[in-house]
Amino acid sequence: MADDQTNASKLIDDRIIELGDWRGKTLSKVRAIIREADPDIVEEWKWVKATNPGTPVWSHNGGICTGETYKNVVKLTFFQGAALNDPSGLFNSSLGGKVRRAIDIKEDDQIDQDALKNLIRAAVVLNSDGKKPSA
């Protein structure tokens, strides 16, 4: 498992460098926030296919979120986002879904680090005990 983790972390490092613009910086920043929120988080690299080089995924007792990059946004999609309390209103995308919720971060957006850490920690709790976390 450690080798898979090391390989995934390197692939994420490579993706950040390959982007070489605000998206790479933003992905690097949210990655650091995620790791700070949960030092036991596992980095994975999933869904590699001919049309997609792969996607960073952070997990702890199940998937927490993905870190996708598009032309105009860095998108953090939370696997169980609809079950999470989001008092800071970070979720701004995929709001109509029954399970997932996402945060679209644009180039000049400021990231509310404390609110993001709280969402990560709440998702870990949800994965760990299967119960809806309290605020």
Region 24-37: what's the mean pLDDT? 98
Region 43-62: what's the mean pLDDT? 92
Q: What are 101's two structure tokens?
A: 């919720």
Region 118-130: what's the mean pLDDT? 92
Please check whether residue 109 is in contact with residue 30, taking contact to mean a CB–CB distance below 8 angstroms: no
Match 């929120």 to its residue by tokens: 37
CATH topology of domain 2-129: Aspartate Aminotransferase, domain 1 (3.90.1150)
Considering the entire predicted model, what is its pTM? 0.90
pLDDT digits (tens, 9 = 90+) for 76-95: 999 999 999 999 999 999 99
Q: Report the share of the chain in percent with pLDDT over 70.
A: 92
Contacts of 37 (CB under 8 A, 6+ apart): 116, 117, 118, 120, 121
Kindly indicate the confidence band of residue 135, based on its pLDDT and cuts at 50, 70 and 90. very low
Q: What CA–CA distance (Å, rounded) separates 111 from 30?
A: 8
Answer whether residue 69 shows pLDDT above 90.
yes
Answer whether residue 2 shows pLDDT above 70.
no
The helix (run of H) or strand (run of E) holding residue 121 is: helix 113-129
Identify the three-state secondary structure at position 78: strand
